[in-house]
Amino acid sequence: MILTVTLNTALDITYRVRELRPHGSHRVSEVTERPGGKGLNVARVLAALGHEVTVTGFTGGATGRVVRDRLAGTPGVLDALVPVAGPTRRTIAVVDELTGDTTQLNEPGPTVTSAEWSAFQEAYEGLLGGASAVALCGSLPPGVPVGAYAGLVRTARAAGVPVLLDTSGEPLRRGVAARPDLVKPNAEELAELTGSHEPLGGARDARRRGAHAVVASLGAQGLLAATPEGEWHATPPARVHGNPTGAGDSAVAGLLSGLVERLPWPDRLARAVALSAATVLAPVAGEFDRAAYEELLGRVAVTGDASAA
């Protein structure tokens, strides 16, 4: 079982409009709702790849009930979310059909009490006993300590469970110091962490700060990996156009599935890049186009040197 942690779960709502105009009134042509937050997105892709996944984090209020109801209909995903008094947040994506651009509005999430945080930590420790790997994903809701991910990384390491960290800002900086097995920042997050705007230099610096391996997302330029086994750059065969919502989460799912399947690094990176591109191409935000994924997988270019570590 793979465990994903989403401390700031969400109900993702996507509106499609013909053209988004500031200060204007818009007729919505389509509305979709689905459970969201980075770890829930990762779990959905992992389940589609054939892995058993348990999701945990916080959920509350009427929005939280909708999230749990929708999760119940997702094959391969087990709900182990921890209830809180505050309402689960909503994220609103407005897709401009004319340009393909997406405008995102993200609510902050519920305020988590110290008692609720303690209840989560207890639940998390129990879930680690059956986990082959764990992904810690996304932002922290109000009330959760800024060093929360660092503590969760240490707990996973003490249990002997490989841990992937995907967050940003101060939670990332503190989490890296706790020595996670893998971190997956984007280029901006990596630069903020290390002060380096050169991705390979930044990835190497992040490893010196404590991360065992670093995979940096470079957008259309694919993924850059700095690991103990070597350094690689994986790129898609061509630039893809569509909705990028969830593409990074699909990359995390590819990396995590490759870890538990013990794939060589080039194969993990190729899978992650192909899944990310196939997510951009999917008609529904946050899903991936399986036919596109299978077609792209064999055409991802991976260059690098296993002796570079």
User: What strands lie across the sheet with 28-36, from one edge to the other?
Assistant: 28-36, 10-17, 89-96, 102-106
Is there a contact between 280 and 244 (Cβ–Cβ < 8 Å)?
A: yes
Other Cβ atoms closer than 10 A to 69: 11
Residue 94 host element (H or E)? strand 89-96
> Which residue bears the tokens 């893809």?
240
Closest of 185, 266, 182, 259 to residue 231, by C-alpha:
266
- Rounded CA separation 153/99 (Å): 41
How, if at all, do strands 10-17 and 89-96 pair?
parallel
Closest of 243, 215, 249 to residue 47, by C-alpha:
249
- Rounded CA separation 62/82 (Å): 15
Annotated catalytic residue within 249, 267, 289, 305: 249
- Rounded CA separation 39/47 (Å): 12
Closest of 241, 238, 172 to residue 210, by C-alpha:
172
- Rounded CA separation 10/246 (Å): 13
Closest of 232, 252, 258 to residue 164, by C-alpha:
252
- Rounded CA separation 57/217 (Å): 24
249 catalytic residue (yes or no): yes
Residue type, position 287, single letter: E
Active site residues: 249
